[in-house]
Copies of this chain bind each other. A is one copy, B any other.
Amino acid sequence: MGHHIGNIHTSRHWAQHCNDLIRRVCDLYPGSFAPVCQLPQSPGASIEAAVRELERCVVELGFVGCNLNPDPSGGFWDGPPLPDRHWYPLYEALCELDVPAMVHVSAACNLNFHTTGSHYLAADTTAFMQLLTADLFADLPSLRVVIPHGGGAVPYHWGRFRGLAQDLGRPPPEESLLGNVFFDTCVYHQAGIDCLLRVIPADNILFASEMVGAVRGIDPRTGHHYDDTRRYLEAADLGDEDRHKIFEANVRRVYPRLQADPRSAA
């Protein structure tokens, strides 16, 4: 990532090297990791290099998904929004290869934004609203998108998004988006996880935790790491079936190549 650095040439080489390293890590720990690639993006650049790197990673290296940066400028938001035709070649490749994209920005270099404290969460919310106001999934019904950090502000404001869709004469987000959009569980306290689980159907929630993530400390209130999200899910009011969906079944459905690739023991 760090797409704001250099140009598309820099990003292409950097992405290739990083993805090759990711493949090596996954080969060293096949029971722990499955590879997801970064894409060579750069402000103002064509998306073609990203399509080629996605194909290389999935077809040649057995990757199961990718990370798509909706703002390669790093907090200046001067590129086209996600439903723009600019991105369609990548979306078509994702559908063709049957892999999902996590929509996740990289470092903010705009002084107004703290990378992990506001840019990430704002980008998640921005991406969701871009998808809510467009017909991307009518065009590409098999495209699958994961929004990290529990969907940014989205579940907390689910009534707002339902109401905005209604005012705009669009179908409810449950109908227009939840066949294609998934949220992870990177929300670092019990009340947040409980809100996520109460609002978003279990079919749309994918377990995620962190390994050297945004928050590294131990919560003095609980004595456990803030980002030990499994504990919050285990303490939540969840039935066995929903728990199985969130911890395993959904991710196998959204990332079908997780099972197909013989190199991934997971």
Contact = CB atoms under 8 A, between A and B. Distances in A.
Nearest to A199: B191
Given A112-B77, A217-B167, A160 B117 contact: yes
A30 interface: no
A223 B58 CA distance: 48
B121 A163 contact: no
Copy number in the complex reads: 2
Interface string A123-161: 001101110110000000000000001101101111111
Nearest to A75: B77
A244 to B, nearest CB: 23
Interface residues of A, number: 59
B198 A159 contact: no
Contact of A81 (B112, B188, B189): B112
Contact of A192 (B150, B152, B157): B157
Interface string A80-93: 11000000000000
Contacts of A226: 159-160, 162-163
A214 interface: yes
A111 B156 contact: no
A188 to B, nearest CB: 3
A92 B190 CA distance: 38
A138 B228 CA distance: 33
A81 B111 contact: yes
Contacts of A227: 163
Contact of A153 (B114, B121, B215): B121
Interface in A46-91: 70-71, 75-77, 79-81
Contacts of A130: 112, 114, 118
A126 B122 contact: yes
A251 B203 CA distance: 41
Contacts of A266: none
Interface string A97-115: 0000000000000111110
Contact of A167 (B111, B150, B216): B216
Contacts of A117: 129, 132-133, 160-161, 164
Contacts of A27: none
A226 to B, nearest CB: 4
A166 B198 CA distance: 28
B80 A192 contact: no
10 contacts: A118-B122, A121-B122, A121-B157, A125-B153, A149-B160, A153-B156, A155-B192, A157-B187, A159-B219, A163-B215
